[in-house]
Structure 1
Amino acid sequence: MLKTFTTPRGLVALAAGGSAAVLAGALLFQAAGYPPCPLCIDQRWPHLAAAVLGALILAFRLPMVLALLGALAAAITGGIGVYHSLVERHLIQGPTSCTSSAPGSMSAADLLQQIQNAPLIRCDEIAWQMLGITMPNLNAVFSLLFAALWLLAWAKSRRA
């Protein structure tokens, strides 16, 4: 059984299944009352692309060169996860559409407009964490692992 997951197609199944699991987990957290911020939503789309791509590769025995697209999708969501992690810990400035600015750096009219246009969920606030590890942290780590699995699948297919 373990040998199945070391073949190129088995590695695609692991990587795509991992993206599907992360996406399902995010939707479960949302259903449990943790609404996503805009950066959280942005992290979901590449997972969806990777999961669908993996399913298509496996179902239709598509060429393994497409695994490079899966690696790209996983790397993109991993990069967004790293960026979001830095934003929520206030290490870098996030997008103005979902973070707060220092009130002293803007006029009263600009501050009022920001408050009126602010989304309900901010990207620079930690919605959930366990032992200091947040959802974007987990996404970044797992997504980069999935990218490595996609690349390994492609490399193994070239040797076969």
Structure 2
Amino acid sequence: MSHSIRRIAAVTLAAGAVFGAAVPPACAQSGPHEAVAYRSCVVISGVQADSPGFDDRSNRSLNRNREWIDVTNTSRHSANRDGWTRSDEDGHTYTFHHYRLDGRSTVRVHTGIGRDTYRDVSQDRRNYAWDNRSDTATLRNDHGRFIDDASWGGRHHRGGHDGNHHDRRL
């Protein structure tokens, strides 16, 4: 291979590497409010706000498979979720501590007291977090940036000061 052909190949590979690094990730998109609006690969994928049976504030009623929110990472890459929060319209907030969500996986955040695993975490609350009839679950990253929300029963997300309002009805 001649010296000039190797040089052309090297320049082409270097240009491809620079171009590839400049391309936004699959979870970034252009938006009307900023040049590139952030859209996370993490979404609220399910909510069970009204635990089955009578609301008696027991740990059984609050915990496993009773009152929960599912948070799903839709990308194939795992990511640190330390400092991320989920909150409701009344200001009840849960903060993820030292948590890494694997790619293409879901974590269920339970309201009650329990042992944390890679698939289930507990807020360790002794009272309900969600309004059975209507509420909004909001997910924010560790910088307080809006990531996703889900509403049920007639309420809608109130905020979105950053222009990234993604209200969904469940």
Q: Smaller-chain TM-score range?
A: under 0.3
More RCO (CA 8 Å, sep 6+):
1
**Alignment TM-score, normalising by the size of structure 1:** 0.20
**Alignment TM-score, normalising by the size of structure 2:** 0.19
Between Structure 1 and Structure 2, the one with more strand by share is: 2
